[in-house]
Structure 1
Amino acid sequence: MWPVLWMAARTYAPYVTFPVALVVGAVGYHLEWFLRGEPPPPAADEERSIVEQREERKLNELTGRDVTQVLSLKEKLEFAPKAVLNRNRSA
């Protein structure tokens, strides 16, 4: 008799466990929602998009700085690593 019961349990396990898991999940979801209460209102930073926050930060960095004073191309290339193929050539 036991082998027949085990075979039936193994055969019909998905049909039994899915509704049980569904009920347990729904109860847990609603219980957690009840215990947490209302969600807090979003902060001022969360209302703006990341692009807007980045643009504002970049504008704040630019204020008080002279944007016409930039490094020359020669100064920028001074710190660039030399190409691999040019390493063995004489300067």
Structure 2
Amino acid sequence: MWPIYWAAIRNIAPRITFPVAFVVGAVGYHLEWFIRGTPKPKEQKSILEQREERKLQEQEGLDSTQVVSLNEKLEFTPRAALNRNRPQES
């Protein structure tokens, strides 16, 4: 007779466990919220917003029409890795 009871409990257990776990979880969630109180969210800016503000502050005093030419930027770039083994032409 015991094997029949265990088989019945084994089949019914998933149908009982989920609602019980759901109720326990909901009660725990609301109890924790009640104990902690309402959280006061901090008005924190994202990293992207902070970066954009910093860049704008850096650009504030500069003249945006005066830019470095492309030739000056490329002057200090290393030669391409694929061209290192080719002979130099004089």
| TM norm. shorter chain > 0.5 | yes
% identity of equivalent residues: 67
Distance 1:25 1:80 in 2: 60
Query: What's the CA shift string for 1:19-38, capped at 9, x where partnerless?
Result: 10111011011011101112
**Matched position secondary structure for 1:70:** coil
Structure 2: tracts of 5 or more residues without a match: none
Q: What RMSD, in angstroms, separates the aligned Cα atoms of the two structures?
A: 2.6
Structure with the higher fraction of residues in helix conformation? 1
Where relative contact order (Cα < 8 A, 6+ residues apart) is larger, the structure is: 1
Q: TM-score under structure 1 normalisation?
A: 0.71
- In the TM superposition, structure 1's runs of 4+ consecutive aligned residues that sit over 6 Å from their partners are none
Shift of the alpha carbon at 1:52?
5.1
Q: TM-score under structure 2 normalisation?
A: 0.71
Query: Counterpart of 1:73?
Result: 70
Number of corresponding residues: 88
